Structures are given as C-alpha cells and as structure tokens.
Structure 1
Amino acid sequence: MGERGSSLLAKLILILSFVVVALGSNTVTNLKAFYLVQQWLGSYCNQAGTKCCYPPSGKPSPDFTIDGLWPYSGDGNFAYNCGNDNYDVGRIKFLQDELRKSWPSFTCPQIGRKFWVHEWNKHGTCTKSILGEIPYLQAALNLKNKANIYQALAKAGITPGNKFYSLDVIKKVLARSIGFNPWVRCNKNAQGHDQIWQVTFCADITGKNLVECPYIPSGVDDCESQIQYPIYYQ
C-alpha cells in the first residue's frame, strides 16, 4: 500500500474510533437510580391535535400507567439509545396481559408489543448488565404496584373530572401514601389549562426498592399551583 493509501486508512480508522465512542457515550457506567415514569393518558390524549386509539384489548380501567423506566447515572445524565438488541417479542408473551394493563399505548395506529420493545431498546439496553430484557419489564411492573398513584389520590378524595386541585396537596398526598417525594410534570389541554400528566418515583440500582430521587429536573413543563385532573379518556 502506498503512502496515500496508508494515509487514507489512518483517517478511516480515526473516524471509526470517533463513531464507536459516540455510539457508546450514552451507556450508564455509574448507575445511580431508576426513574419510574407514570402518566395519566387522559392528559396525553386531550391535548390539542392529539388523537388516541384504544389497545386491541379495549379501553383499560382508569389508572396511571407506565411511560418508562429510565436509568440515571452518576454523571447527572439520563442515558438512552444505547444500541438495539435482537429482541424476540415472543419471549414477553407471558407478561402481555399485565403489560397491556399497566403499560399500555394509546397511539394511533396501535403498535402493540413494539411499544415495550422500543422502551427496552431506548432505555433498558443502557443497563442490560444489571437488568436483562425480562427483568427490566418485570421491575417496571413491580415498581408500579408499589407506587399506586391513582389509588393514593382516590383515597384522599382527588378524582378525575373538571375540578382543579392544589399541586402542593397532590404532592403531599402522594408522598404520605407512597413514602417518597414525587416529581410531577404537567401539560396543557386543548383549552390551555395545566393538568397533571406524568408522575415519577425513583428506585435503587437493583430496580426493586423505591428511594428518594437523587435529582429532580426543574424548569421543564412546570405546573401551575392549581392543576386539573381530567377524565381518563372518552
């Protein structure tokens, strides 16, 4: 190989090395916590311009459902897109009924199991040395059972409808019932009113036990002091 060929090869190797570093940059090397994000699909579906479709199994009973399980690293970042796996969706058939109930998607058209595979590929692959595919999904389901947001609010008389509730009261009710402070995010409905959308609790690095969140971002979709808790979805 001539001098020019050697130079081109060296440049190619250098470029590839940067690509490898970039692809691996989101991998969690110092996991600090898992963030279990639950959402009220009523607030997602009543946004202006948003269309929702029920899963093939029909309209689920009203509940806060899983949006995702996010790994948070010691360097202060939420890792994502750490590489696609050759995921065999047939492996999760035994969890399908529970996933449909606790982790549904209202997207149109319906994407079924692809939604859970997407969440694994986007977030779960970043910590697959700690939680494999099945344990990752099971951890999210188990944590949701420990952080029953709908039940906690209902016991305090906070129910879906057109009423406005104090954000501080909602946070205090959830902290008292579940034992840890929540991270509450809001969006706006078609009328422009702030409404409860996502509620997040954290788990330790095993994905088994709820803990206080080491970090709660501020300034993103902050809620007003009074927010709506809309009906689930019609």
Structure 2
Amino acid sequence: MIGRNILVFVIISIIINTSNATTYMYILAQEWVGSVCKVEPSCPFMGHYDGQRWNLHGLWPNTQLTSSCGSIQYCRTDPYDSSKIYQKTKDLLDVVWNGLYSDTETFRGYEWEKHGTCYPGEVSQNYFFQTAGGLAQKYNYYEILAKAGIYPDNTRQLFENDIRNAFAQVLGSNVKITFSCFKDQVTGKYLLGQLKICFDESLQIRTCNCKLNDEEIDLEKQLNYSQYQAQPLVSCGSVFYYPEL
C-alpha cells in the first residue's frame, strides 16, 4: 500500500509540474517600410534596406499560459553590446533589421534588452540576433505576398482573406497569422503596417492563437508603444492598402 501511495504521489507530482511548465511561443514581427514612412514622414535610418523585404521589428518570446499571452519583458540584466555580435551576423542585420525612424543600433539594443533577455537558456546576444535575422531571411514577407500576386500598390484595395490566403500558401492552411495597420491621419486609409508569424519552442511554424482580454490589451499597448514605433498599430478594418515605397 505504501508503495502504491508513493507511486500515486509521483504521478500526481509529474502532472502538476507538467501543467505548470512554461512553454514558449516566438513571435516574428516585421513592418512594411512603405507604411511606416507614410505615417512617419522622415525615415532617415534606412541602412542597407533594399526594398525587397519587410523590416524586422523583433523576435519576441512569449509564455503561453492558460489565462493570457504571458508577455515577458526585461527578464535579466544584460546590456546590449554590439561587440558581442559577430560580423557575419551584423551583415545580415544590416539588411533585415534597420531602425527606420530611430537610430538602428539604439533600436536593436532596445529590442535585445526588452525581448532578447527573455529568450530561454540565457542565450548570447549573437545567437539571438542571428536567429532573428535568419528567420527574417527565411520568411520574407514581401516574397510571400508577391507569390500570391500582391505587390505594393497605392490604389489596390486589400481584404483580410487576401493576406491570410497568401501566407496559407506558404505556411499551411491551418496556420493563422496576425497583422495590423497604421491609420493615415491625412487620408483616413488603413495601411498594412505589421505582420506576425509564430513559432513553437523548436522554431517550427505554429498558429498565432494567443489572445488577450481587454485589460491585457490595454496593458500591452502601454508596454509596447514607445519612441521605437511610428503611430500606434490598429485593426485594419474591412479594407486596407499596401502602399508603395
């Protein structure tokens, strides 16, 4: 009987520990430069941007808890130091990750300290940026949209299914993405601004199914809106545009 009780205790402990185990979802967020530079008239920090890709905003580790998205930020003290990043990684970043409306190095440092420090395993700065840059190269949002015949066009009206179907052709029909827009304060048009795809802990594509309640949405806006962003991102509405550069 004692042996059975011990076995039951062990099984229960395993179940509890498993249910409380932290799992991660990584969010790869990229911004469309044409939209950013429409709502933020001066885009001086273009770096080596070639116009054939979206600009990397960040790779964000999020814990997946039952009640919320479990957004995690500033997890450990490890100040950004560009000398810790290999030249090969820097060359990649110069193509995929520019500041646009803020100093590029400052922006990358901000993203590292806010999100990179939350990458599990306390990875190095070079590993984080190499991983983020590699994913941005592999999942080129400009090319994914182009394969579906969607190119920057100031006059073409787009609808939600246009974007979802374009990414479904590449990621799979069961994978959901999320995207949002800037609202042009002059024309009132919604401009496709940021798009996110998500990965599991093995960096395999998964659905972005993390949903916030209203209170958490307000908190997320407060936490994530900063000088390293143009105007606040909003829902794209029923019709939106993918503006030219």
The question of a shared fold, defined as TM-score above 0.5 by the shorter chain, is answered with: yes
**1:67 counterpart letter in structure 2:** H
Superposition deviation, residue 82 in structure 1: 2.5
Matched, 1:74 2:70: no
What TM-score do you get using the length of structure 2 for normalisation?
0.73
Corresponding residue of 1:52: 43
Matched, 1:222 2:214: no
Query: 2:80, 2:57 → 1: CA distance?
Result: 20
Corresponding residue of 2:53: 63
Distance 1:54 1:32, change over 3 A: closer
Corresponding residue of 1:169: 162
Superposition deviation, residue 143 in structure 1: 1.8
Corresponding residue of 1:106: 100
User: Where does structure 1 lack aligned partners over 5 or more consecutive residues?
Assistant: 1-28
Pairwise CA RMSD of aligned residues?
2.3
Distance 1:217 1:149, change over 3 A: farther
2:108 match: secondary structure: helix
Percent sequence identity over aligned pairs? 28
Are the aligned partners of 1:183 and 1:216 in contact in 2 as well (CA < 8 Å)?
A: no
Query: 2:162, 2:213 → 1: CA distance?
Result: 19
1:119 match: secondary structure: helix
Which of 165, 178, 181 matches 2:176?
181
Are the aligned partners of 1:168 and 1:225 in contact in 2 as well (CA < 8 Å)?
A: no
Query: 1:32, 1:91 → 2: CA distance?
Result: 25
Corresponding residue of 2:115: 123
Greater shift in the superposed pair: 80-89 or 120-129: 80-89
Distance 1:193 1:133, change over 3 A: same
**1:165 counterpart letter in structure 2:** L
Runs of 4+ in 1 over 4 A off after TM superposition: 216-220
Query: 1:56, 1:144 → 2: CA distance?
Result: 16
Query: 1:129, 1:212 → 2: CA distance?
Result: 23
Superposition deviation, residue 74 in structure 1: 2.7
Superposition deviation, residue 93 in structure 1: 4.6
Superposition deviation, residue 141 in structure 1: 1.6
Query: 1:167, 1:139 → 2: CA distance?
Result: 29
Corresponding residue of 2:12: none
